[in-house]
Amino acid sequence: MAEAIQDTHELVDTVLLEAVNLAIHWEMQHDENVVVLGEDVGSNGGVFRATDGLKQKFGFKRVMDTPLAEALIGGLAVGMSTQGLRPIAEIQFSGFIFPALEHLMCHAARMRNRTRGRLSCPMVLRAPYGGGIHAPEHHSESIEALMAHIPGLRVVIPSSPARAYGLLLAAIRDPDPVIFLEPKRVYRSSKQSYENNGEALPLDSCFTLRQGKDITLVSWGASIAETLQAADALAEHGIDAEVIDVASIKPLDMQTILISVARTGRCVIVHEAAKSFAVGAEIAAQVSEKCFLNLQAPVQRVAGFDTHMPYFQNEHYYMPNVQDILAAVDKSMKEE
């Protein structure tokens, strides 16, 4: 991947993982305050090679390997960010983020409020998340709801290479802490062309990926792939589905979702996190509160089970698939 790291302003064709690398590279090239830290991010280029080539280009003072200590990574990032740097910290897998939560919840998320705006905390904490790669325990969690529940944190989840590139640039430039969860199941699943020009995408906004008039499908992260496949299958049966990529989990762009549901009258929410108390539950609640008179059927949720992600032999039973989405749509279309 290191050979692909070029600040070219030209069209590139990359997978999501390489888009993450390109975005970090661009920002380090243009802002000397941007630093990278985490376990194996330097010499090894990260467990998935997302930071490949950065240490060779920018040196060990800006790309720092840390001990196997997530609490230290979180604390270092908070301290650096309050002193003028813009750290990009990596947690190898989101399931190991919990030792760093004290620093995220009690310091990063509160810094602006605590100091009445005197200090902010411009840090990004990146973490591969979600299932689908047959990893063992603690390697497949979907923790977006947990992070979104903390006031003061932005939570962003890209679903494609172009959105990973643009959203990560925006996250690095944001003056407040951003949790950037990367769906590792689609790290290398498909390529996409986009311009490597340093242009950020807006945070706190949904992206409407497909226009439709019959039903609204809302999803994010890796589940966008199955949601779009379901929309294609529905089209063959004459059902015109609108697909919305939430992208920024917190703050949540409910306006885009509400406008769509008000027009279609039906809503199915798709995610792989456990169903109870999840982001899907929050979206369903707000749709019911603010769009009730426009609904022609109850909001449906397609989600993971309320259990730990199983080991790889049973992982496919846990992950929502296209048939699950089609069944939920069928149920919605039949109800009045």
* CATH code (residue 86): 3.40.50.970
- Does residue 24 sit in the same domain as residue 76? yes
149 annotated active-site: no
307 domain-assigned:
yes
314 domain-assigned:
yes
- Does residue 151 sit in the same domain as residue 218? no
- Does residue 181 sit in the same domain as residue 222? no
- Identify the domain containing residue 29 by its residue range: 10-196
69 domain-assigned:
yes
**What are 44-86's pLDDT values in tens digits?**
999 999 999 999 999 999 999 999 999 999 999 999 999 999 9
5 domain-assigned:
no
| CATH number reported for the structural domain that contains residue 281 in this entry | 3.40.50.920
Cis peptide bond upstream of 177, omega within 30: no
Determine whether 104 is exposed, middle or buried from the number of CB atoms within 10 Å of its CB (0-12, 13-18, 19+): buried
Give residue 7's pLDDT band: very low, low, confident or very high (50, 70, 90): low
**What are 87-142's pLDDT values in tens digits?**
999 999 999 999 999 999 999 999 999 999 999 999 999 999 999 888 888 888 89
Longest dimension (CA), the chain: 62
- Number of folded domains that form the chain: 2
3 domain-assigned:
no
- Does residue 221 sit in the same domain as residue 175? no
- Looking at 196, 221, 243, the residue that finishes a domain is 196
Give residue 1's pLDDT band: very low, low, confident or very high (50, 70, 90): low
- Tokens standing for 288? 């019911």
SS3 of 227, please? helix
Residues 39-62 as b/e (b if ≥16 CB within 10 A, e otherwise) read bbbbeebbbbbbbbbbbeebeeeb
Could you say which of 107, 139, 271, 316 is catalytic?
139
- Does residue 171 sit in the same domain as residue 228? no
- Looking at 196, 219, 237, the residue that finishes a domain is 196
- Does residue 74 sit in the same domain as residue 186? yes
pTM of the model: 0.96
- Does residue 215 sit in the same domain as residue 189? no
- Looking at 136, 167, 196, the residue that finishes a domain is 196
201 domain-assigned:
no
Contact 272, 304 (CB under 8 A): yes
- Does residue 142 sit in the same domain as residue 283? no
Which residues does residue 156 pair with via DSSP β-bridges, in sequence order? Answer: 180, 248
- Does residue 139 sit in the same domain as residue 217? no
- Does residue 34 sit in the same domain as residue 162? yes
